[in-house]
Amino acid sequence: MKTYRSRLWLFFIAMLASGILSCKTRSVNLFKASSPHEQYQKKLINVGLDKTAMGSAWLNAANLSTQKALNINIPYKENGYFAADKVPATAYKFNATKGQKLNIKLSKKPSTNALVYIDVWYSVDQTQKLIASADTLNNPISFDIDETGSYLIRLQPELLQNVAYELEITAGPSLAFPIKSKNTNSIKSYWGDGRDNNARKHEGVDIFGNFRTPVLAISEGTVTRVNENNLGGKVVWVRPKGKDYTLYYAHLDEQLAVEGQDVNIGDTLGFMGNTGNARNTPTHLHFGIYTFNGAVNPLPFIDPITKTPSAVTAPINKLNKTLRTISATKMLSAPQNKATVLATLNTGTIVEAYAATANYYKAELPDGSTGFIQSNSLVQVAEPLKKFKINTLQQKVYDKPDSLAAPKITLKEGQTVNLLGIFGNYQLIGSTDAATGWIIK
């Protein structure tokens, strides 16, 4: 007779085959009100799968993952594995700056018939605003950061999917560079630098170059103003299409653009000079960006340096395996040594690793808490730490390190078992004639 779990699996597989659960029939655009994840969730509810243990676990995992989101810095790269016999979801928090373009790429195996939902939110005042979602083909996500602040990304596969994946998140400029040369060494003065004996602050960046270097449009848009003033000399203002800010080009030797002109990226607006209050300085372009609330730092909009994430060096063959610490080990809030310590783990503590980033594992403890642990602090549970005989209080073997969990089996007093690891007041044991599980210390 098939077990309940086997019957449930067959039921889900039949549903998937009939297309009830599948969302792969068409592509879904970014910024759509109903994301692919939401569509899949509605289908689970419509056919009553939210009332099943597995369907309910999938919905709960989606919510819990965002509540337990771990901190990362961009750029970020990880290799991970979603197992079909579990109901996983993972989420991360990171900061991004107005003017950057965020790029999210997910490569997965198998590349087809294994959908992973990706959603990105802007998080402010404990509320989340959905910014973007991957389409059902898992094409890369790319969008401009319009608000500086905290962002949240969640990954969750469909039910019953074994998926190995590589996630890469990078941030670069949302606009092109104002001159043909993209050498950051040409930027010699930055936002906030003192001016006029620190009587005022620099509201832009200064890009130096040869006299009459062409100054370029860096976005599709409209020239809103061409004029001359005391500080900027000959200036040009351009409003990028669909944006809430205006680009300001100053100290030009000559203006070619005219008011009302529509421009494309690369069009020449004028030539670099030293007009206005730059008459006694080397030739340069003062470039600024203005919003309704005043000037903002333009560097994130044009910074040509796009940092690449560190290579993953933690062995990925340990993912989804039962591991234990080889010494007292710190679990951190982020994959870096200076991150907040979430827990200090004793030698032999059992953990599972679900993803690898740089030389860290994203690990989960038996109580469900998660964090980052250096990969060289963990070994796969293969050999027992020791053998011992259980006493009367240790006869019950639980599937979790919790006395309220259902006992898997009751052992005989004095039976010899292998100690595989520990967690809190519990020991993970196993032997050839005893089921692997947890007993009280």
Under 8 Å CB-to-CB from 384, ≥6 apart: which residues? Answer: 418, 419, 420, 430
How high is the pLDDT of residue 19? 46
Which residue stretches of the chain have pLDDT < 50? 1-7, 10, 13, 16-32, 194
Cβ atoms within 10 Å, residue 74: 19
d(CA 367, CA 340): 19
Q: 319 is written with which tokens?
A: 């993912």
Q: CA 417, CA 428: separation in Å to the nearest integer?
A: 10
Pairwise CA distance, residues 228 & 263, whole Å: 20
- pLDDT confidence of residue 26: 35
pLDDT at 3: 46
pLDDT at res. 193: 58
Q: Vertex 65, ends 61 and 144: CA angle to 5°?
A: 125
For residue range 292-313, list pLDDT tens digits in order. 989 999 999 999 888 899 999 9
The C-alpha atoms of residue 157 and residue 228 are separated, in whole angstroms, by 57
pLDDT digits (tens, 9 = 90+) for 263-302: 999 999 999 999 999 998 999 999 999 999 899 999 999 9
Taking only the tens place, the pLDDT of each residue in 216-261 is 999 999 999 999 999 999 999 999 999 999 999 999 999 999 999 9
Report pLDDT for 56.
94
The pLDDT of residue 291? 93
Whether 369 and 424 have beta carbons less than 8 Å apart is answered as: no
How many whole angstroms separate alpha carbon 130 and alpha carbon 126? 13
Q: Which residues pair with 246 in a beta bridge?
A: 290
Among candidates 11, 1, 2, 3, which has minimal Cα distance to 52?
A: 11
Place of tokens 């979602």: 133
pLDDT at 432: 61
Task: Judge whether 128 and 121 are in contact, CB under 8 Å.
Answer: yes
Q: Please, are residues 351 and 380 in contact by the beta-carbon 8 Å criterion?
A: no
Whole-angstrom CA distances from 33 to 29, 102, 248 are 10, 20, 35
pLDDT at 195: 61
pLDDT of residue 137: 82
- Say what the pLDDT of residue 225 is: 97
Q: Which residues contact 303 (CB under 8 A, 6 or more apart)?
A: 172, 173, 184
Give the Å distances, CA to CA, from 436 to 400, 412, 418, 431.
10, 15, 9, 7
* Predicted pLDDT at 304: 84
Name the residue type at position 433: D
| Phi-psi map region of 149: left, alpha, beta (phi>0 left; psi -120 to 50 alpha) | left
pLDDT for the residue 198: 59
Tokens of residue 157, six digits: 């596969």
Tell me the three state secondary structure of residue 96.
strand
For the chain, domains (ranges, CATH) are 4-173 (2.60.120.380), 184-302 (2.70.70.10), 316-379 (2.30.30.40), 386-440 (2.30.30.40)
